[in-house]
Amino acid sequence: MSTSRQGAREKRTGRRPGASGTREAILAAAKRQFAEFGYDRAPLRAIAAEAGVDQKLIAHFFGSKQQLFVAAAGLPLNPAEVLPTILAGDRATLGDRLAGFLVSFLEQPELHQRVTGVVRAAASEPAVALMLREFLVGEVVAPVADLLGTDDAHFRANLVGSQIVGLVMARYVVALEPLASMPPAAVAAAVAPTLERYLVGQLAPAAR
Amino acid sequence: MSTSRQGAREKRTGRRPGASGTREAILAAAKRQFAEFGYDRAPLRAIAAEAGVDQKLIAHFFGSKQQLFVAAAGLPLNPAEVLPTILAGDRATLGDRLAGFLVSFLEQPELHQRVTGVVRAAASEPAVALMLREFLVGEVVAPVADLLGTDDAHFRANLVGSQIVGLVMARYVVALEPLASMPPAAVAAAVAPTLERYLVGQLAPAAR
């Protein structure tokens, strides 16, 4: 439903008076195609065709398909760009680095609004959940799993995602107290060992 | 917006031919009042008045205000009834009991649909988030904190909630793989130490 609504709304911006118009047209086509077909099955070729532009302009304005998705989904950052740096350092302080980055990142009101917007949309729109799932599995979970290099690395990356999205829901969307008012450092400290264990610790006591 | 839409829809069921009509009228009034005023500021008296019934009938059909809320919000169980039993046993296996209960509970398709429905509504409707927050803080976090009996028990209960809602989002709403297809026992085993630490373990290394 929202897909066709979005499509209709964005068709009104059909004329492209210049660079910003072209960029907007690409973004509108990308949003519609990602929502209708998911991340994997919306080729750049089809997005360019719907926007009425040459496919090279997508590379010019956005770079990769991954970066186009980040812009279209309204993500405030590209997880695939940030995670390798965080994961590259000392594994004993991995959870601290990830939790510290996340919580201080989300402290900026504009950024946490964008993140809660994405979480809200994923929760309420199955099409958004689908396109996010495909993006996360292909562009976040898979690279993180490669970096971890263990058999269960995909599962581990999922578990990290579950605690992150849960923290966004509890601290920002539902705003449970006292969590919502706790200083960022206290929240990061409490969550860090969880992320650490999910990434590189013992997942389960002698799995059967 | 959804509040008035809901109100309008439910007013059509104004006539109460018998017991089930009365029950429905109370439920409709409760949904509307909880969504408009939140859990704390929707007195049973006002709900009874809106439903056009004697307040005693609320007790007759639902018991307490808490139980009325559980029914109105579509929660598949009353957390306040389940948690004391889980929390009462051996603390060394608290995380295992809670994770095991949760994951096997959510395995039942009808129940996980209801839970994902509530999570979706909380994520997309601020009024639902408000009424859930008040209910959770007053009727779940507070009793759990009493049972734990520590200074930071409210924060601990929030953290448990964050991992639970995150698991619902990741496994059922966004359906991240391989998490979504993992056997319940493996998911419970991976999450149990997190819940255990949040409830009774060391929250942070030497907090400042």
- To probe the interface with A, which of B174, B198, B202 has the most A CB atoms within 10 Å? B174
**pLDDT score at B61:** 94
Record: contact B123-A197, CB cut-off 8 A: no
Element (H, E) at A115: helix A109-124
Report chain B residues whose CB lies below 8 A from the CB of A182. Answer: 155
Q: Is the pLDDT of residue A8 over 50?
A: no
Residues 101-130 of A with CB under 8 A from B: 119-120, 122-124, 129
**pLDDT score at B35:** 84
Determine contact: B1 vs chain A, CB below 8 A.
Answer: no
Q: Is the pLDDT of residue A96 over 90?
A: yes
- CA-CA-CA-CA dihedral for A176, A182, A183, A185, to nearest 10: -90
**pLDDT score at B206:** 54
Q: From the CA of A166, how many Å to the nearest CA of chain B?
A: 4
Residues of chain B with pLDDT under 70: 1-17, 205-208
Determine contact: B155 vs chain A, CB below 8 A.
Answer: yes
Q: Is the pLDDT of residue A10 over 70?
A: no
Higher pLDDT, A205 or B163: B163
**pLDDT score at B73:** 86
Please enumerate in sequence order all residues whose Cβ is within 8 A of that of A58, keeping only pairs 6 or more positions apart, or say none: A26, A44, A47, A48, A68
**pLDDT score at A205:** 66
Report chain B residues whose CB lies below 8 A from the CB of A176. Answer: 133, 136-137, 141, 158, 161-162
Higher pLDDT, B174 or A6: B174
**pLDDT score at A75:** 85
Q: Is the pLDDT of residue A4 over 70?
A: no
Counting Cβ atoms within 10 Å, is residue B164 exposed (0-12), middle (13-18) or buried (19+)? buried
**pLDDT score at A28:** 94
Tokens 């994997």: give the residue: A40
Determine contact: B137 vs chain A, CB below 8 A.
Answer: yes
Rounded distance between C-alpha atoms, residue A200 and residue B118, angstroms: 32
**DSSP collapsed to 3 states, chain B:** CHHHHHHHHHHCCCCCCCHHHHHHHHHHHHHHHHHHHCCCCCCHHHHHHHHCCCHHHHHHHHCCHHHHHHHHHCCCCCHHHHHHHHHHCCHHHHHHHHHHHHHHHHCCHHHHHHHHHHHHHHHHCHHHHHHHHHHHHHHHHHHHHHHHCCCCHHHHHHHHHHHHHHHHHHHHHCCCCCHHHCCHHHHHHHHHHHHHHHHHCCCCCCCC
Q: ipTM score here?
A: 0.80
A9-18, A69-78, B184-193: segment of lowest average pLDDT? A9-18
**pLDDT score at A206:** 55
Are A39 and A69 contacting, i.e. CB atoms less than 8 angstroms apart? Answer: yes
Residue-wise pLDDT tens digits, A155-171? 999 999 999 999 999 99
Are B186 and A208 contacting, i.e. CB atoms less than 8 angstroms apart? Answer: no
Q: What percent of chain A has pLDDT over 70?
A: 89
Residue-wise pLDDT tens digits, A25-73? 999 999 999 888 888 889 999 999 999 999 999 999 999 998 999 898 8
Q: Give the angle B63-B67-B68 at the CA atoms, nearest 5°.
A: 90
Rounded distance between C-alpha atoms, residue B165 and residue B186, angstroms: 18
Residue-wise pLDDT tens digits, A129-146? 888 888 888 888 888 888
Rounded distance between C-alpha atoms, residue B16 and residue B23, angstroms: 9
Residues 51-90 of A with CB under 8 A from B: none
Phi and psi based region of residue A172 (left: phi greater than 0; alpha: psi -120 to 50; beta: remaining): alpha
Determine contact: B195 vs chain A, CB below 8 A.
Answer: no
